[in-house]
Amino acid sequence: MTPGMRKTTLQLRVCAWVAAALFASGCTPINRYHGFTPSQAELAEVQVGQTTRDTIVSNFGPPTSQGVPGGDSYYYVSSQFRHFGAFAPQEVSREVLAIRFTPQGVVRNVERFTLEDGQVVALDRRVTDDGINDVTVLGQLLNSLGRIDAGQLFGGDSEPEF
């Protein structure tokens, strides 16, 4: 082997190792965290029948979600997603903390749910028709010009006809 070939072979080996290292690092899983749920130690401060809604908000912050506005439940939700290479992210864990209140605003019940407790909900795919079949805003404005009569334009008492 000539010295030039040895140098080229060494360069190819280095390039191959660098490419392999870059490829391996690109396949490292990346974890993403969303939301917040209080820990068991933080929940130990909550006394069923004594702790109020305001105390929950001051200790844990505003909830991720509420039931019906003004309803009797607060929900704190956290999730962990794992991204691996070019694949779609996968949810690997989820926690939902449900705190229910009495009508007086006192804690009635505290429940914790995980990803294993979840159920698939089939959504209803019905769509309400808006009645505007591909008509632009400009088209609607131009169509409404024909509905104005001279009496309306100059302050007359005539009513529009539909």
Query: Under a CB-based contact definition with an 8 Å cutoff, are residues 95 and 37 in contact?
Result: yes
Beta strands 73-83; 65-66: pairing state: antiparallel
- What is the distance between the alpha carbons of residues 61 and 51, in angstroms, rounded to a whole number? 15
* pLDDT of 140 higher than 80: no
Structure tokens at 84: 């691996």
H or E element, residue 63: none
Look at the pTM and tell me if it is higher than 0.75. no
Q: Return d(Cα 114, Cα 117) in angstroms, integer.
A: 5
Residue 162 pLDDT greater than 60, yes or no? no
Condensed to tens digits (0 to 9), the pLDDT of residues 93-106 reads 999 999 999 999 89
